[in-house]
């Protein structure tokens, strides 16, 4: 069974940093592209960042490019999202997701909440 467990969320001051982790199990992590998707309060889903299976190709939404860094450790079956210079608008529930068929996200974690204090 595919399991994705996010951690690392919390309350941080504006301008601060956080590093999210996503522990994966139940599938061949090193063969799967992964991504982070967030949902701000009262808003829709937003793709934040994605990374290919080897970790050699990354994508960032315009809203986070230059501030967030996605990475993965295929030996530890873990996906990361390092978030710097956090803004109020970065406050959201952050989901880890596993790419499935035809560029869909077939499995999602429960999410980790990031709050940014002003």
Partner 1 sequence: SYELTQPPSLSVSPGQTATISCSGDNLGNKYASWYQHRPGQSPVLVIYHDSRRPSGVPERFSGSNSGNTAILTISETQALDEADYYCQTWDSSSNYVFGTGTKVTVL
Long-range contacts of residues 98-104, Cβ cutoff 8 Å, at least 24 apart: 98/2, 98/4, 98/24, 98/27, 98/32, 98/33, 98/34, 99/32, 99/33, 99/34, 99/35, 99/50
Q: Taking the complex as a whole, how short is the minimal distance between the CB of residue 64 and partner 1, in angstroms?
A: 12
Binders of partner 1 among residues 10 to 39 (CB under 8 A) are: 35, 37
Contact (Cβ atoms closer than 8 angstroms) between residue 35 and residue 24: no
Q: Which is nearer to partner 1, 47 or 84 (CB)?
A: 47
| Out of 10, 15, 26, 106, the residue judged to bind partner 1 by CB under 8 A | 106
Binds partner 1 by CB under 8 A, chosen from 21, 46, 69, 84: 46
User: Does the footprint of partner 1 cover residue 100 (CB under 8 A)?
Assistant: yes
């Amino acid at each position: 069974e595919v399991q994705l467990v996010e951690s690392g969320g919390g309350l941080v001051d504006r301008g601060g940093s956080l590093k999210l982790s996503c522990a994966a199990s139940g599938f061949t992590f090193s063969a799967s592209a992964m991504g982070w998707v967030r949902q701000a309060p009262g808003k829709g889903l937003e793709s934040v960042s994605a990374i290919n299976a080897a970790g050699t190709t990354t994508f960032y939404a315009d809203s986070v490019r230059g501030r967030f860094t996605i990475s993965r450790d295929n030996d530890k079956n873990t996906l990361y999202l390092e978030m710097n210079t956090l803004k109020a608008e970065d406050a959201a529930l952050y989901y880890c997701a596993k790419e499935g068929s035809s560029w869909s996200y077939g499995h999602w974690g429960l999410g980790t909440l990031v709050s940014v204090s002003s």
